[in-house]
Chains A and B, each alone.
Chain A
Amino acid sequence: MPATESPFWNPKTETLPKEQLQALQLVKLQRLVRRAWDTSPFHRRLYEKASITPDQIKTMDDIRRLPFMTREDWMECQAEKPLFGDMITRPEDEAIRYHLTSGTSGRQPLRVLDSRKDWSWIADMWCYGFWGFGIRPTDKVFFAFSYGSFIGFWGAHYCCEKMGTLTLASGNMSTEQRVKQIVEMGVTVVCATPTYALRMGQTAEKMGIDLKKDGKVRRVIVSGEPAGSIPAVKQMIEEMWGGKCGDTAGMTEIGTIMIFECDHQPGGPHIIEDHFIEEVLDPDSGEPMAYGERGERVVTSFGRGFMPLIRYKTKDLVCKVPHTTCDCGRTGDIYEGGILGRVDDMKLVRGTNVYPRAVEAVVREHSEVEEFQIILSRREDVQDEITVKVELKPDQTGQWARLKGQLKKDLADAHEGLRFNVELAAQDELPRFELKAKRLQDLRPQY
Chain B
Amino acid sequence: MPPVELWRSLDDLAGDPTLRELVSREFPAHADEMLASSRRDFLKLMGASVALAGMTACRRWPSELIVPFAHRPEGYVPGSTLQYATSLDVGGAATGLLVTSYDGRPIKIEGNPSHPQSLGATDPCAQATVLQLYDPDRSQGVVQREGSGEPAPRTVEAFTTWARTHFASLDASKGAGLRVLAEPSSSLALLAIRERFARRFPGAVWVEWDPLSRDAAREGATLAFGRPLRTHLALERADVIAAFDADLLFDDPAALANARAWARRRRAPDDVMNRLWAVEAGYSLTGGSADHRIAVPSVLVPVVLGRVAAVLARAGALPGLPPETRAALERFSSHSFDDPRIAALARDLAGAPGRSAVVVGPRQPAAAHALAHLLNHGLANAGVTVWYSEDPEPARPSHREAIARLAGDLNAGVVDTVVVLGGNPAYDAPRDLDLAGKLSHVKTAIRLGLYDDETSEVCDWHVPQAHYLESWGDARGWDGTAGIVQPLIRPLYDGMSAIELIALVADGKTTPGYDLVRATWQARLPSPDFERAWRRIVHDGVAEGTRFVAVAPELSPGAAAPIAALADAELPRAGTYELTFSRSASLHDGRYANLGWLAELPDPVTKLTWDNAALLHPEDAKALGVKRNGDRVAIEADGRELTVPAFLLPGQAKGSIGLDLGWGRRRAGRVGDAVGVDAYALRSSDSLWRAEARVARRPGTDALASTQDHHIVDTLGKREQAIRAEELVRTGTLEEFLENRAFARERVEIPPDAPLWTPHAYPGHKWGLAIDLTACTGCHACTIACQAENNIPVVGPAEVRRGREMHWIRVDRYFAGDPAAPRLAFQPMACHHCETAPCEQVCPVAATVHDHEGLNVMVYNRCVGTRYCSNNCPYKVRRFNWFNNHKHATAVEMMVMNPEVTVRSRGVMEKCTYCLQRIEAVKIAAKNEARAIRDGEIVPACAQVCPTEAIVFGDLNDPESRVRAAHDDPRCYGVLEEVNTKPRTRYLARLTNPARGEA
- Judge: A and B partners, yes or no: no
* Interface residues in chain A, defined as those with a beta carbon under 8 Å from any beta carbon in chain B: none
* Interface residues in chain B, defined as those with a beta carbon under 8 Å from any beta carbon in chain A: none
